[in-house]
Amino acid sequence: MEKIVKLHDKEFRTLIPEAEIDRAVSELADKLNADYRDRPTPLILGVLNGAFMFASDLVKKLDFNPELSFVKLSSYCGTGSTGKVSELIGLKNNLEGRHIIVLEDIVDTGESMEHLLKSLEGHRPASVEIATLFFKPRAFRKDFAVKYRALEIGNEFIVGYGLDYNELGRNFRDVYVAVG
Ligand code: IMP
Ligand code: MG
């Protein structure tokens, strides 16, 4: 059922219900299970804050044993990308020779992910792939591969299931889109 919520100055309406998100996360987990089952202990790196809920639900659906860690990187202010990317923090694991799966809530322009990939490359991992809950193909302007995408959307601004509008809306089970 469609619902309207207000966060700060904006109204949002239901776009993707919980059940559809859950289905997409399961499909993505199946692909990771097929690709990583036989590799030596993959390292899952969740990107905070946005990927916390996605990471939590996804790892419960994996049938291999990954290490799980989180990093933080933020480039967003309000509903438009600032283009400025801050430092990557929280990287504690030794990444050399590791198979890394980066978990993101959303890849929009790809700016912040590009920055993260560059930081990771310096640590000489065996492989790095990106698994994102949402992908905006029309906003993406980079040339790295985003191999695992649970859901693709247009250029609309969304909140819920980890994603925020100025820090609100992350706790919603469904995903909402800005109205107007
Ligand atoms: P990019 O650097 O332009 O790819 O933006 C990536 C970051 O911007 C994501 O990790 C999100 O935190 C944020 N972001 C991009 N699009 C949205 C959106 O529609 N809703 C909420 N946050 C978004
Ligand atoms: Mg954000």
Beta carbons within 8 Å of 82's beta carbon, 6+ residues apart: 75, 76
Q: What H or E segment, with its residue span, contains residue 4?
A: strand 4-7
pLDDT higher than threshold 90 for residue 85: no
Over residues 67-92, mean pLDDT:
72
Domains within the chain, CATH numbers bracketed: 19-153 (3.40.50.2020)
In degrees rounded to 5, what are phi and psi of residue 44? -95, 125
pLDDT higher than threshold 60 for residue 83: no
Residue 76: CB within 6 Å of ligand 1?
yes
SS3 content of the chain, % helix, strand, coil (to 5): 20, 35, 45
Mutate which of 47, 52, 85, 106 for ligand 1 pocket (most atoms within 8 A of beta carbon): 106
Residue 109: CB within 6 Å of ligand 1?
yes
In degrees rounded to 5, what are phi and psi of residue 45? -115, 105
The pLDDT assigned to 30 comes to 98
| Ligand in closest contact with the CA of 178 | 1
Mutate which of 108, 135, 159 for ligand 1 pocket (most atoms within 8 A of beta carbon): 108
Tell me the catalytic residues: 108
- The pTM is what? 0.94
Residue 106: CB within 6 Å of ligand 1?
yes
97-133 pLDDT per residue, tens = 999 999 999 999 999 899 899 999 999 999 999 999 9
| Ligand in closest contact with the CA of 154 | 1
Burial 129-145 (b: 16+ CB within 10 A, else e): bbbbbbbbeeebeeeee
Beta bridge pairs of residue 107: 135
The pLDDT assigned to 113 comes to 94
For tokens 């939590």, what's the residue? 56
- For residue 152, the CA-to-ligand 2 centroid distance in Å is 17
